[in-house]
């Protein structure tokens, strides 16, 4: 067995970035930006009013002023401001030549096209040209996950077809004669296939494309056919089950037969010890344990980092540091352990579950913590690193 840290390093160092494509602005939401974005203009592009008010010379604000023009947003001022004059101006409208101040509407009285400032002080109330962004400034960095606020920035600089990383295609294969699909009522000794649907959702949430290839029977021929078929049109293959030491666990053997370079096949971690990883022709194959909690955790902690790396994402998966709300102990400490937790009211609480087949416990989990080899307890109030789900 290798350590989890060694396994993660092997996986990440194997990653090769996907190609890129140009998509529409809205289609780029949640995609990985594959280019730096620069502004094609100053922002604001001209001096403009920050309020509804009256543009004038600040030296004249305590004098009565003549109203000479009304300037709506989107229209260029027609008249220059001279001493003793002002123009009524709307928020966002261009500042007229000669003005250096805008008095807010609520701070004046108007009488027959004349205005009078009735306060003792006013701010300038002007948004100056290029005070936010200069033409040519970097506004979005390559490698970010595009968020709604980034969509606004793309729109503001006229980037209507941004370049984004292509989504890796991921083939999913479940193994086992005991499995039936969710729409079938299991017979005695059968169970519904939850792993595949869980992985499809995890893959989609990670920004990749999931291609479900069905259930491989517990025969070498069926498993071989499913794997070789999935390799033809996917970047990553994920199998669940068939990777341990049972009589029908053919996955590692078949991987060797088809020329997969197996880089590890056992990790000193729980749950998820019998996890296999290999590469073939710039493609990646994971054999994950059949128990749903094991496959869920190993996808989150091992497969997802590979997907993100392949897409050139520079954002790290966020880790929070939160105090634990109770004392927590475990009986066995021979391996690193991943533990589901609930984050509530600024504290985290380990979720009680009966083992790696108890997927229902994860309905209450929104984070994962870990205990290192040899560590058997965590004291209440101790600050713990937690990976949000």
- Over the stretch 123-140, which tens digit does the pLDDT of each residue have? 999 999 999 999 999 999
Is residue 236 scored above 90 in pLDDT? Answer: yes
pLDDT band at 246 (very low <50, low <70, confident <90, very high): very low
Is residue 210 scored above 60 in pLDDT? Answer: yes
Least confident of 101-110, 244-253, 295-304: 244-253
Q: What pTM was computed for the model? A: 0.86
d(CA 160, CA 183): 42
pLDDT band at 247 (very low <50, low <70, confident <90, very high): very low
Q: What percent of the chain has pLDDT above 70?
A: 97
Is residue 175 scored above 80 in pLDDT? Answer: yes
Segment 233-244 mean pLDDT: 85
- Whether the Cβ atoms of residue 102 and residue 55 lie closer than 8 Å to each other: yes
**Model pLDDT, residue 318:** 86
Is residue 354 scored above 80 in pLDDT? Answer: no
d(CA 289, CA 239): 8
**Model pLDDT, residue 357:** 60
Is residue 307 scored above 90 in pLDDT? Answer: yes
Do you know the residue count of the chain? 389
Segment 143-170 mean pLDDT: 97
pLDDT band at 376 (very low <50, low <70, confident <90, very high): very high
**Model pLDDT, residue 244:** 53
pLDDT band at 254 (very low <50, low <70, confident <90, very high): confident
d(CA 96, CA 76): 8
- Whether the Cβ atoms of residue 73 and residue 93 lie closer than 8 Å to each other: yes
Q: What percent of the chain has pLDDT above 90?
A: 76
**Model pLDDT, residue 389:** 85
Least confident of 46-55, 59-68, 330-339: 330-339
Average pLDDT, the chain: 92
**Model pLDDT, residue 249:** 63
Is residue 243 scored above 70 in pLDDT? Answer: no
Looking at the DSSP bridge assignments, the partners of residue 329 are: 377
Segment 147-160 mean pLDDT: 97
d(CA 215, CA 226): 8
Structural domains in the chain, CATH included, are: 4-17+167-310 (3.40.980.10), 20-42+131-165 (3.90.105.10), 48-127 (2.170.190.11), 319-383 (2.40.340.10)
Is residue 142 scored above 90 in pLDDT? Answer: yes
Is residue 245 scored above 60 in pLDDT? Answer: no
Using CA atoms of 211, 214, 220, 225 in order, give the dihedral in degrees to the nearest 10: -50
Highest mean pLDDT among 144-153, 244-253, 340-349: 144-153
d(CA 253, CA 251): 5
């Amino acid at each position: 067995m290798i350590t989890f840290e060694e396994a993660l390093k092997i996986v990440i160092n194997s990653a090769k970035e996907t190609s890129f494509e140009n998509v529409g602005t809205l289609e780029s939401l949640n995609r990985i930006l594959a280019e730096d974005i620069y502004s094609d203009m100053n922002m604001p592009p001209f001096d403009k009013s920050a309020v509804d008010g009256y543009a004038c010379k600040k030296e004249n604000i305590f004098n009565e002023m003549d109203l000479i023009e009304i300037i709506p947003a989107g229209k260029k001022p027609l008249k220059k401001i001279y001493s003793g004059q002002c123009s009524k101006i709307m928020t966002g409208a261009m500042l007229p030549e000669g003005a250096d101040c805008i008095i807010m509407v609520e701070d004046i009285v108007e009488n027959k096209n004349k205005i009078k400032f009735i306060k003792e002080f006013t701010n300038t109330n002007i948004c100056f040209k290029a005070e936010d962004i200069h033409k040519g400034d970097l506004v979005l960095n390559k490698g970010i996950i595009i968020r709604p606020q980034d969509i606004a920035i793309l729109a503001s600089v006229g980037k209507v077809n941004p370049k984004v990383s292509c989504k890796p295609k991921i083939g999913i294969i479940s193994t086992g004669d005991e499995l039936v699909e969710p729409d079938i009522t299991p017979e005695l000794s059968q169970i519904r296939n939850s792993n595949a649907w869980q992985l499809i959702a995890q893959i989609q949430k990670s920004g990749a494309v999931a291609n479900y290839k069905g259930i491989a029977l517990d025969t070498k021929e069926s498993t071989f056919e499913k794997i070789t078929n999935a390799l033809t049109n996917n970047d990553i293959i994920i199998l669940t089950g068939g990777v341990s030491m049972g009589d029908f666990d053919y996955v590692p053997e078949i991987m060797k037969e088809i020329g997969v370079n197996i880089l590890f096949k056992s990790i000193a971690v729980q749950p998820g010890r019998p996890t296999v990883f290999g590469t073939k022709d710039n493609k990646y194959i994971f054999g994950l344990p059949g128990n749903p909690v094991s496959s869920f955790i190993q996808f989150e902690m091992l497969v997802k980092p590979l997907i993100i790396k392949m897409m050139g994402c520079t954002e790290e998966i966020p880790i929070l540091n939160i105090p634990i709300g109770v004392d927590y102990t475990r009986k066995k400490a021979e391996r690193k352990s991943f533990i589901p937790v609930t984050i509530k009211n600024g504290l985290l609480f380990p979720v009680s579950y009966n083992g790696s087949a108890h997927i229902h416990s994860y309905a209450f989990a929104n984070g994962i913590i870990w205990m290192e080899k040899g560590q058997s307890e965590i004291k209440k109030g101790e600050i713990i690193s937690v990976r949000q789900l």
